Amino acid sequence: MRVYADNAATTAVSDTAVAAMLPCFQEFYGNPSSLHTIGQRAAEKLSLARQIFARRLNCDPSEITFTSGGSEADNQALRSAAAAGAKKGKKHIISTEFEHHAILHTLEQLEKEGFEITLLKIPKSGVISPEQVRQALRPDTCLVSVMFANNEIGTIQPIPEIGRLCRASGVPFHTDAVQAAGHLPIDVKSMEIDMLSLSAHKFHGPKGVGVLYARKGRVPLVNVIYGGAQERGKRAGTENIPGIVGSAAAFDESCANMEKNAAKMTALRDKLIDGLTKVPHSILNGERERRLPGNVNLCFEGIEGESLLLLLDQKGVCASSGSACTSGSLDPSHVLLALGLPHEVAHGSLRLSLCKYNTEEEINHILAVTPGIVEYLRNISPVWDELEHGQRKHII
């Protein structure tokens, strides 16, 4: 049996999305910028896709910009807010310690360019409070960027509350909704969101398509990519029509079936959490209640994540880990460290991320093979040996 439980990394493209894309390769293959019929048919497809995203996010189609993915959308959002802030002499940005690197590394670059960055600390729950944001606000704050839901531990942030606070304070608010879009209800109006990034391949759309929502009259977008006049001149390059059309179809489908999918995934997720936390000295990272329907993230003490992943893969389970060995660096995941986990515990993390296609049988398979693998690795581990003989203290 092969179980794909790495849907936070990427998802399979849905049949609906594939069906929507296929005619775009040989029938609607025109360049939307062309005046002729073939080109205008493609332009119409593009316009329909834009309308779908606008309707589902509750905004105007002119507020939607298609990008190459979530990272580009994040880069453009931050760059735009920074440019607008700099014009007014406001060069302070608030974000959080556990953002995606598309945010954190852009902020690092902005810091080099003279911006001051405040990264909010992450409580053990994995959910920041609006009060933390309020306390960090300054007269020169030009942007607050807080992710909708964390990509590793799945915790959902109080976005409407932060939105209300920022709106009342006159500070633009961006949210990286890459993990949330298509999985959680999003309404940019009622949630008072000024900018939002999403990525299609996280909700069964194709890779290479992102969306940046930017509220009209708030933060003028600056280009990350210069060239032609596509996307109202804000994002050059011939539009990826098959990708954009497939993304819109996938988003429409995900939003239409959100409640049903979430109920199914949450039940499977809870079964996994209940089963896996029975393994002695294991811990669920981030709180259970405010959590993405498909996210399970645990640490097992005394073992290292990469070896766990390799053995799970041998048993047909595709998962991910925040261990250093899987990141190619010496440090384990910045998200787990931000939660306050010690390095040695963070090395032993396992993320299982589900989607609507996972079945109860697959969950039973994961539950059947995982404890044995953890035990096997613990038996090899000198760290576990010391823990068991009291030479080292259990942390979890």
Task: Give the C-alpha separation, 112 to 322, whole Å.
Answer: 28
- Cβ closer to other proteins: 14 or 307? 307
Compute the least distance from the CB of residue 307 to other proteins, in Å. 5
343 near other proteins, rule: CB under 8 A: yes
The encoded tokens of residue 349 equal 């993390």
Size of the site for other proteins (CB under 8 A): 25
Compute the least distance from the CB of residue 325 to other proteins, in Å. 4
- Cβ closer to other proteins: 344 or 375? 344
Compute the least distance from the CB of residue 329 to other proteins, in Å. 9
Rule CB under 8 A: choose which of 118, 175, 199, 307 binds other proteins: 307
Rule CB under 8 A: choose which of 304, 312, 353, 365 binds other proteins: 304
Compute the least distance from the CB of residue 316 to other proteins, in Å. 14
- Could you tell me which stretch among 46-54, 79-87, 155-163, 308-316 binds other proteins (CB under 8 A)? 308-316
Rule CB under 8 A: choose which of 70, 332, 363, 365 binds other proteins: 332
310 near other proteins, rule: CB under 8 A: yes
Binding mask 45-64 for other proteins (x = CB under 8 A): --------------------
Rule CB under 8 A: choose which of 86, 325, 367, 396 binds other proteins: 325
- Could you tell me which stretch among 71-79, 208-216, 310-318, 350-358 binds other proteins (CB under 8 A)? 310-318
Written in H, E and C, the secondary structure of the chain is CCEECECCCCCCCCHHHHHHHCHHHHCCCCCCCCCCHHHHHHHHHHHHHHHHHHHHHCCCHHHEEEECCHHHHHHHHHHHHHHHHHHCCCCEEEEECCCCHHHHHHHHHHHHCCCEEEEECCCCCCCCCHHHHHHHCCCCEEEEECCCECCCCCEECCHHHHHHHHHHHCCCEEEECCCCCCCCCCCCCCCCCCEEEEEHHHCCCCCCCEEEEECCCCCCCCCCCCCCCCHHHCCCCCCCHHHHHHHHHHHHHHHHCHHHHHHHHHHHHHHHHHHHCCCCCEEECCCCCCECCCEEEEEECCCCHHHHHHHHHHCCEECECCCHHHHCCCCCCHHHHHCCCCHHHHCCEEEEECCCCCCHHHHHHHHHHHHHHHHHHHHHCHHHHHHHCCCCCCCC
Rule CB under 8 A: choose which of 139, 170, 328, 390 binds other proteins: 328
Contact call for residues 268 and 360 (beta carbons, < 8 A): yes
Binding mask 246-265 for other proteins (x = CB under 8 A): --------------------
- Cβ closer to other proteins: 11 or 381? 381
Compute the least distance from the CB of residue 341 to other proteins, in Å. 12
- Cβ closer to other proteins: 190 or 314? 314
311 near other proteins, rule: CB under 8 A: yes
Active site residue 325: yes
- Residue 161 carries which side chain, given as an amino acid letter? E
Q: Helix 241-256 crosses helix 37-57 at what angle (to 10 degrees)?
A: 30
Contact positions with other proteins (CB under 8 A) in 355-384: 379-384
- Of the residues 142, 166, 325, 355, only one is catalytic, namely 325
306 near other proteins, rule: CB under 8 A: yes
- Cβ closer to other proteins: 130 or 332? 332
314 near other proteins, rule: CB under 8 A: yes
Contact call for residues 142 and 170 (beta carbons, < 8 A): no
Compute the least distance from the CB of residue 6 to other proteins, in Å. 15
Q: Helix 70-87 crosses helix 101-112 at what angle (to 10 degrees)?
A: 30
Compute the least distance from the CB of residue 125 to other proteins, in Å. 25
What residues are labeled active site? Answer: 325
Residues of this chain that interact with other proteins (CB under 8 A) are: 302-304, 306-307, 310-311, 314, 323-325, 328, 330, 332, 342-344, 347, 379-385
